[in-house]
Amino acid sequence: MDHFHYRDGALWCEDVPLTRIADEVGTPVYVYSAAAFRAQARAFRDALSGVPDVHLAYAIKANPNLAVLRVVAAEGYGADVVSGGEMARALAAGIPASGIVFSGVGKTRAELLRGLEAGIGQFNLELEEEGVVLAQLAHERGLAARAVLRVNPDVDAGTHAKISTGRKENKFGVSIDQAPAMYARLSALPGLSMQGVAIHIGSQLFDLAPLEAAYRRVKALVDELRAAGHQVARVDLGGGLGVRYKAGDDPRTPAEYGAMVERVTKGWDVQLMFEPGRVIAGNAGVLLTRVIWVKPGVVHPYVIVDAAMNDLARPALYDAWHDVDAVVPRGERMTANVAGPVCETGDTFAMAREMDAVKGGDLAVLRTAGAYGATMASTYNSRALVPEVLVDGDRYAVVADRIAAETILAAERVPEWL
Ligand SMILES: *Cc1c(COP(=O)(O)O)cnc(C)c1O
């Protein structure tokens, strides 16, 4: 079911018209569907129901809003976090520390310590020295940190270069060739309880073949570790499943993914961990915006909207596509460029786009903005920080305030000597 749908000629989120949210909250604003989050969280969970021992850790960087975390956690998810700030959010959302996985290539000593003190379930180590430091911090406190070693399986995920993480030249994980010796050294450290291995090869993957290849490499490593006498209790298979952004996109579904996992991991005899982000959040949100002007162009008109690259960075960062639809379609089509007000040519959401005809003052949405949207927002050009709304049935709430440019200005200081 599509949780953003047209009713009586206008776009609604569940049982709330987007026109009402625009009137009452203003634009630009992210609008999320709680039902869509729940449906995707359940679809992913159900897809793995044939796998014996599963831990689901929602990759909160995709959408870390506190209310969103509540919704996803209620579906039985822990959290995959990549900073102390994300760990604090996961804990604030009521996610048990034991269900939190701490990933990330640059965890500081202070962050490792906060994780230890909070008692989080698993540290995903990215380099040997990190494990040595973590072991020392834990040992000094009479603790044993549960950890896995993230390996880089050197597979090409076949996705955009900026969201590919499993090639040997990427910054993530340790070379799978060096992993056995490193694992042995880490296992010998007091203060560290090595549980197994982890991978995450990239994001927005449409094809299961690279994932399957990576999983098979990981299994060979597990066999090698076991042959060397190590216990391997957990394998963290990461995230990466893609979502549909435009017509013709044909990502594998959670069900297809689950079937592959079940087939490939049969008999592994480990707890399997998953870190889905985009597949849970992507289609659960839109960025609602108002057209400021329709500016005549040399080739096509420019639809200048009040959302910009500071609110939704994906098109500027990755040349990403977001469908653009009118909230109240006029019944005509146009070919146009869609851009924000920021003073960068990169602040362009679409070029030569065949879309609903719009005029100044009309509302529009950028679809599939639930993942890697608000979480990447900035205040560039001294714009406000974009607010977020969560719809649940016929109710909605502002779940993150718009932070005005004046509020941000108030946090700046001019030293007395100036
Ligand atoms: C970003 C990330 C994820 C989530 O990736 P998606 O493509 O959003 O599923 C999972 N694990 C790690 C370590 C990540 O960095």
User: pLDDT for 367-400, tens place per residue?
Assistant: 999 999 999 999 999 999 999 999 999 999 999 9
The Cβ of residue 204 has, within 10 Å, a number of other Cβ atoms equal to: 24
130 and 230 share a domain? yes
Range of the domain at 191: 34-278
The pTM of this model reads 0.97
Cα-Cα-Cα-Cα dihedral sign, residues 271, 272, 274, 279: negative
304 and 232 share a domain? no
What CATH number corresponds to the domain at position 253? 3.20.20.10
Q: From the candidates 1, 227, 247, 343, which is the catalytic residue?
A: 343
pLDDT at position 170 is 85
Asked whether residue 417 is assigned to any structural domain, the reply reads no
197 and 58 share a domain? yes
Buried b (16+ CB within 10 A) or exposed e, 64-91: bbebbbbbbbebebbbbbbbbebbebbb
Concatenated DSSP letters of 82-128: SSHHHHHHHHHTT--GGGEEE--TT--HHHHHHHHHHT-SEEEESSH
173 and 318 share a domain? no
Residue 294's DSSP bridge partners are: 303
Last residue of a domain, one of 261, 278, 295: 278
Decide: residue 110, CB within 10 A, 0-12 exposed, 13-18 middle, 19+ buried: exposed
Is the pLDDT at 1 greater than 70? The verdict is no
pLDDT in tens, 292-303: 999 999 999 999
What CATH number corresponds to the domain at position 376? 2.40.37.10
Concerning whether 343 is annotated as a catalytic residue, the answer is: yes
248 and 394 share a domain? no
| Lowest-confidence region among 160-169, 188-197, 242-251, 342-351 | 160-169
Q: Determine the residue of 100, 103, 174 to mutate for testing ligand 1's pocket, defined as the one with the most ligand atoms within 8 A of the Cβ atom.
A: 103
166 and 304 share a domain? no
Per the model's pLDDT, the better-predicted residue between 171 and 227 turns out to be 227
20 and 78 share a domain? no
Backbone angles phi, psi at 38, to 5 degrees: -65, -45
25 and 44 share a domain? no
Q: Are 191 and 136 in contact (CB under 8 A)?
A: yes
Q: Which helix (H) or strand (E) segment is 20 a member of?
A: helix 18-25
CA 276 to ligand 1: nearest atom: 9
List binding-site positions: 240, 275-278, 314, 318, 344, 372
The Å distance, Cα 64 to ligand 1 centre, comes to 13
Locus of tokens 């989120």: 13
Is the pLDDT at 237 greater than 60? The verdict is yes
Q: Which helix (H) or strand (E) segment is 183 a member of?
A: helix 179-187
Asked whether residue 375 is assigned to any structural domain, the reply reads yes
Backbone angles phi, psi at 363, to 5 degrees: -100, 145
List binding-site positions for substrate: 278, 314, 318, 344, 372
pLDDT in tens, 117-153: 999 999 999 999 999 999 999 999 999 999 999 999 9
For the residues 309-325, what does the mean pLDDT come to? 97
Q: Determine the residue of 80, 107, 159, 171 to mutate for testing ligand 1's pocket, defined as the one with the most ligand atoms within 8 A of the Cβ atom.
A: 80
